[in-house]
Structures are given as structure tokens and as C-alpha cells.
Amino acid sequence: MSEHIFTHVMLDLETMGKGPEAAIVAIGAVAFDIETAAISPRGFYVRVDLKSAVEAGGVMDPDTVIWWLQQSEAARAEITRDDIERRLIVNALLDFSHWLKTEAGGEDSRIWGNGAAFDNVILRRAYQRLPLAVPWSHWNDRCYRTIKGLYGRDIKIERTGVHHHALSDAEAQAAHLLRMLDSDLTPAHRSCNACDWSGPVSECVMLGSVGPLCPECRETTDTVDTAGDAKQ
């Protein structure tokens, strides 16, 4: 057991489908702490044998397979190379359960996925189909994509490693989430709805349904309607 208990986990899956029953080909995760903005160096990564995932009820989607064919060689190699180990889906899930218990908060971990209906849902269904015990509580599901949609315009993700590599993506998303939580989930900053300005909330002006405007846009906006036109 690690000395520091990281109670939050960023999860990222690589799959051969988009629905809740999608076949999983890789699982990546990192544990982190929101209060200290620390990310554990002991991440989780496992490549999954696709045949075993399908035999366990995972579904392949032709559009997703075609999408994978269009990705980088490095990303595709993680799911196509013959010289790297792939775990049977049952073993991969048991490995993740063990990691979650020893490196995070076990069933009390807050699991962040990139989309309310994607990573968390797909992984939970993979456990349920076998069936295996799901290693976290459903009320601890969290959605990184929601936070990104609200605040990602001003704070961009900084990618490291290979894009669409499950562990690399989980690490980049965890760091991005921490930066957004630190900067924009307080009322300290706002973005102008008519230009690219971002600054202290004390400097922006709320104008009807248009929302916050920077001082310069407020001076050149006569009505709510013209401000809306400026944004478009």
C-alpha cells in the first residue's frame, strides 16, 4: 500500500466500439489527489486480448475499427503488434481491481472518465458481464468531459506520450483536470462571450443573457442582441 492515499482516479479505455458493451483493448489509469494536485507515479496499464473481450460479450463497431486504421502507427501498434503481452479480459479486470485497492482508495475511489456514458460505463459493464465485482461504487463516478466542456476553452490539455495510448491519455487528462480545478472552478476568472479575452471576474461585466463581457466589448455593445451577433 502506498503511503499517500490517492482517492481520485483518471480512467481511459481504448475500445473497438462506442456503446456500453464495447470490446476493450487497453485500460489505462492514474491516481491523483485534488487537494495537493499530486499525480501518483504508479499508474496502471494493461493491453487486453481482443478475442477474449469479444468472447466475454464485448461488441466491435465497424466505424470504430475504421477510425483505428486512421490513427498513428504508434497508437495502432499497441493493439496490433504480436510481440507484446495481452491479458485475457478477466485477468485485466482483476489486475485493475487490485491496483485500485492498493494504489487508490479501492471502492471509495472517485473514478473520472472522459464522458458520462463512456469509460466508466464500459468498464463497469465488462465486470458485470463476466460477472465480477465492480471495484468502485457507482456514486463515485465522475465526468472529466463535463469539466472540460465548461472550462477547457481557457485551459488546453497538454498531451505527452502517444495520443490514444490509454495510460498516456489518462496522465494528460488528470493533469488537465487538476489545472482546470485549480484555475477555473472558483469565481476568480471568467471568459468574454464576444472575444478571446479571459481575466479576473472583477473586470468583466454581466450583460443580460449574453453573459460576461470584457470591458472593451461592453463599451462597444449597445444591446444584448448585438453582443450575441458579435459572438457569432
Q: Is the pLDDT of residue 116 over 80?
A: yes
pLDDT at 82: 81
Confidence of residue 152 (pLDDT cuts 50, 70, 90): confident
Alpha carbon dihedral 149, 151, 154, 156, in 10-degree steps, equals -60
Q: Produce one character per residue of 117-140: b if its CB has 16 or more CB atoms within 10 Å, e if not.
A: ebbbbbbbbbbeeeeeebbbeeeb
pLDDT at 182: 82
- Average confidence (pLDDT) over 83-109: 95
Q: Produce one character per residue of 2-40: b if its CB has 16 or more CB atoms within 10 Å, e if not.
A: eeeebbbbbbbbbbbbbeebbbbbbbbbbbbeeeeeebb
Give the domains, in start order, of the chain with CATH numbers: 8-184 (3.30.420.10), 189-231 (no CATH)
Q: How far apart are CA 41 and CA 112, in angstroms?
A: 17
Q: Which residues pair with 143 in a beta bridge?
A: 113
Q: pTM for this one?
A: 0.77
Q: Is the pLDDT of residue 217 over 80?
A: no
pLDDT at 150: 86
pLDDT at 228: 36
Task: Name the DSSP letter for residue 87.
Answer: B
Q: Is the pLDDT of residue 33 over 80?
A: yes
pLDDT at 27: 98
Express as a percent the part of the chain with pLDDT over 90: 63
